[in-house]
Amino acid sequence: MGELQLMKGNEALAEAAIRAGCKGYFGYPITPQSEILEYLSEHGPPRGMTVLQAESEVASINMVYGAAGAGARAMTSSSSPGISLMQEGLSYIACAELPCLIVNVNRGGPGLGTIQPSQGDYFQSTKGGGHGDYRLIVLAPSSVQEMASFVFEGFDLADRYRNPVLILADGALGQMMEKVTFPAYDPEEHRILKPWATDGARDGKERRIITSLHIQPEKMEELNLRLEAKYNLIREQEVRFELVEAADADILIVAYGLSARIAHRAVDLARERGINAGLLRPISLFPFPTEAIRALAERVRGVLVVEMNAGQMVEDVRLAVEGAVPVRWFGRMGGIVPSPDEVLQVIEQMDGAPQETVAEEVYQ
Amino acid sequence: MTSQISTMQTVDENLNCVYVKPDTLTDARLHYCPGCGHGVIHRVLMEVVDELGIREETVGVAPVGCAVFAYNYMDIDMQEAAHGRASAVATGVKRMLPHRYVFSYQGDGDLAAIGTAETIHTVNRGENILMIFVNNAIYGMTGGQMAPTTLLGMKTSTTPSGRISSGVGHPLKITELIALLPGAGYVTRQSVHTPNAVRKLKKALTRGFTMQREQQGTSFIEIVSNCPSGWKMNPLDSNRWLEENMLTVFPPGDLKTPSERKKES
């Protein structure tokens, strides 16, 4: 059964990786996620995990390619600048359809930026990041519990779809301490056959090739179409979101990760003031809960997107809402975490504003 | 004697069989240019795999470069790596499958330019793999640009007047650098321009594989090869030019053997 522990987000995630049967971790130190590498360096090897501090994030992601291609559960973790370095490798991994887990404990950017929490990597995570047409399955935890739980779920999804899965957290979730319960999880029960893995062409098996090179355009397009079909299946099957007080909401907030926690508090404060606010928290950023947002948009007066970036997820929300109601954005950047009061102020403005005023703000 | 020799047995029962294509080389037609050393290297490599009886225990990693399609010819489990990352990919494979024979196969641009960091650190960790480094001093696949190992004075499409050290540096002797690293168990430089050189290469490759059984650190084999198309020579001239010019800068022979490594540690 589950065991209750008080843990840092990064450490809970690392512990979950061991329990999920991850056999290879390859990483490079970067704040604010170095605890993952440190925790695994201490606790991984005695429990059967290979833990290798690589010379760079570039090497790390390519080691993950090799390890995943050999049929093992493999992962890496980093923070924003390091994840940028991995984009080439991720594109190759997505094309070669290698199941693996990548963790981005997002910090503020662009550039070297700041080590404080941010959600500035939403575009990079959900729109490709590397070259070519591909998608990662992106899970966004908003608690230490989910930092752990999404590791198990992430590896299962990766194996099921032969697709890389990204856990997109942020510096605060990595560093904060909360209660966490590890589920009973036997990796053996979750093990699936990987007949495509290059582990030696034994027992009369056909030899296997793992590649992302399909030089004939017809073959490459065939692969592109197959990948798109897979992504569409993921869109159908794997949308995950949470609703808070959304059923009777007049104003719907859409926020993920740490922002969703802040927005949740702002919803409570608004309700205390008699404003019917509600929250939709996307848990899977790809696939995005487009339909759920679209359905709610028909019932609310306005939508507010709260993000710790300059307005990234708001683009997907506007695509979902399709102009049905005004969509407003509020966010902080540079490692600043918005306060529930700041969000409340925006909700109050939206609540008090006549319909036309809110609509104008959308297009500013 | 007929020139259409596929298997010697069909030619004349009285003749001795002197060459058969190794079983572990597929029937796919090589895409390499006529006279290119890659074909010979592929053949010798797969001969060694066959003779050691390790076909089913071997995983190869192909590079980006002329050998990008190596997996079409080598009938073993293979992974195709991103440019320069073959040794990192091979590290991932070997760490998950420590009892498999793992080799990477890279050219000079892949291993000694874009992949220099991965190369150095793979060897420095003493990854128990075989790294094969084919040095023909040019970027063949992209049409003959300067490589890190391009000789001084050598004309390429990006050094049209010949490479001069000012501005683009000297030919990089990465194998000499590799030999300095304690993680390297066996470092040698071979070539494929004569039958005798090919025989020596075969011995080196055999050693590179058997060392993995003995956990003796990274085996690093540089193979000085030709590029008739890139060098704009016919195959014979290219091999002559290789002997007279390449082997002066990149002299063949062992740079480090396991017994020397033991002395270091």
Per-residue model confidence as pLDDT tens digits over A116-126? 999 999 999 99
Q: Which letter does DSSP use for residue B83 in this model?
A: T
Amino acid A362: pLDDT = 47
> What is the pLDDT averaged over residues A225-251?
98
User: Does any domain span residue A339?
Assistant: yes
Closest CB to A66: pick one of B55, B90, B121. Answer: B90
Q: Indicate which of A53, A62, A101 best probes the interface with B, i.e. most B CBs within 10 Å of its own CB.
A: A62
Looking at the structure, tell me whether residues A247 and A189 fall in a common domain.
no
pLDDT band at residue A360, thresholds of 50, 70 and 90?
very low
- State whether A65 and B82 contact (CB < 8 Å): yes
Looking at the structure, tell me whether residues A167 and A290 fall in a common domain.
no
Amino acid B27: pLDDT = 95
- State whether A65 and B118 contact (CB < 8 Å): no
* DSSP assignment of A142-175: -SHHHHHHHHHHHHHHHHHHT-EEEEEEEHHHHH
pLDDT surpasses 90 at B19: no
Smallest Cα distance from A201 to chain B, Å: 5
User: Does any domain span residue A227?
Assistant: yes
> What is the pLDDT averaged over residues A280-285?
98
**A contacts of B106 (beta carbons < 8 Å):** none
Residue B81: give the domain boundaries.
28-158+165-264
**The three-state (H, E, C) secondary structure of A246-303, written as one string:** CCCCCEEEECCHHHHHHHHHHHHHHHHCCCCEEEEEECEEECCCHHHHHHHHCCCCEE
Looking at the structure, tell me whether residues A224 and A266 fall in a common domain.
no
Looking at the structure, tell me whether residues A151 and A226 fall in a common domain.
yes
Residue % of chain B over a pLDDT of 70:
95
- State whether A200 and B77 contact (CB < 8 Å): yes
Number of domains in chain B: 1
**B contacts of A58 (beta carbons < 8 Å):** 85, 88, 117-118
pLDDT band at residue A3, thresholds of 50, 70 and 90?
confident
Closest CB to B80: pick one of A63, A89, A212. Answer: A212
Q: Which amino acid is at A304?
A: L
Amino acid B2: pLDDT = 40
> What is the pLDDT averaged over residues A206-219?
96
Looking at the structure, tell me whether residues A73 and A144 fall in a common domain.
yes
> What is the pLDDT averaged over residues B165-180?
97
Could you tell me which residue, A204 or B205, shows the higher pLDDT?
B205
What would the two tokens of residue A352 be? Answer: 């008090």
Amino acid A1: pLDDT = 46
- State whether B81 and A67 contact (CB < 8 Å): no
Smallest Cα distance from B160 to chain A, Å: 30
Amino acid B18: pLDDT = 83
Q: Which CATH number goes with the domain that contains B101?
A: 3.40.50.970
Number of domains in chain A: 2
Looking at the structure, tell me whether residues A348 and A270 fall in a common domain.
yes
Looking at the structure, tell me whether residues A334 and A247 fall in a common domain.
yes
Smallest Cα distance from B86 to chain A, Å: 8
pLDDT band at residue A2, thresholds of 50, 70 and 90?
low
Amino acid B263: pLDDT = 74
Amino acid A70: pLDDT = 98
Looking at the structure, tell me whether residues A177 and A264 fall in a common domain.
no
User: Does any domain span residue B18?
Assistant: no
Q: Which CATH number goes with the domain that contains A261?
A: 3.40.50.920
Closest CB to A67: pick one of B55, B69, B93. Answer: B93
- Residues from A contacting B (CB-CB < 8 Å) are 23-24, 26, 50, 52, 54-56, 58-60, 62-72, 74, 88-89, 92, 96, 198-203, 207-213
Smallest Cα distance from B230 to chain A, Å: 22
Q: What is the ipTM of this complex?
A: 0.94
Please tell me the distance from the alpha carbon of residue A199 to that of residue A57, in angstroms, as a whole number. 25
> What is the pLDDT averaged over residues A325-343?
97
Residues paired with residue A7 on neighbouring β-strands, in sequence order: A178
Please tell me the distance from the alpha carbon of residue A81 to that of residue A84, in angstroms, as a whole number. 5
Looking at the structure, tell me whether residues A232 and A253 fall in a common domain.
no
Q: What is the mean pLDDT of chain B?
A: 94
pLDDT surpasses 60 at A363: no
> What is the pLDDT averaged over residues B209-237?
96
What would the two tokens of residue A262 be? Answer: 């802040």
Looking at the structure, tell me whether residues A34 and A162 fall in a common domain.
yes
User: Does any domain span residue A206?
Assistant: no
Residue % of chain A over a pLDDT of 90:
93
Q: Which CATH number goes with the domain that contains A63?
A: 3.40.50.970
Neighbouring residues of A104: CB distance < 8 A, sequence distance ≥ 6: A77, A78, A79, A80, A83, A121, A125, A166, A167, A168, A169
Tally: H helices and E strands in chain B: 12, 9
Q: If you count residue pairs, one on A and one on B, with CB atoms under 8 Å apart, how many are there? A: 127
> What is the pLDDT averaged over residues A277-288?
98
Residue A284: give the domain boundaries.
242-362
Alpha-carbon distance values, A145 to A5, A22, A140, A178, A296 (Å): 10, 18, 12, 8, 27
pLDDT band at residue A246, thresholds of 50, 70 and 90?
very high
**A contacts of B62 (beta carbons < 8 Å):** 211
User: Does any domain span residue B123?
Assistant: yes
Amino acid A206: pLDDT = 87
Neighbouring residues of A334: CB distance < 8 A, sequence distance ≥ 6: A108, A113, A114, A116, A118
Amino acid B265: pLDDT = 63
Amino acid B99: pLDDT = 96
**A contacts of B85 (beta carbons < 8 Å):** 58-59, 62, 65, 89
Amino acid A354: pLDDT = 63
- State whether A62 and B89 contact (CB < 8 Å): yes
> What is the pLDDT averaged over residues A176-203?
94
User: Does any domain span residue B4?
Assistant: no
Looking at the structure, tell me whether residues A188 and A280 fall in a common domain.
no
**A contacts of B82 (beta carbons < 8 Å):** 62, 65, 88-89, 92
Smallest Cα distance from A204 to chain B, Å: 9
Smallest Cα distance from B61 to chain A, Å: 9
pLDDT surpasses 70 at B9: no
Looking at the structure, tell me whether residues A194 and A253 fall in a common domain.
no
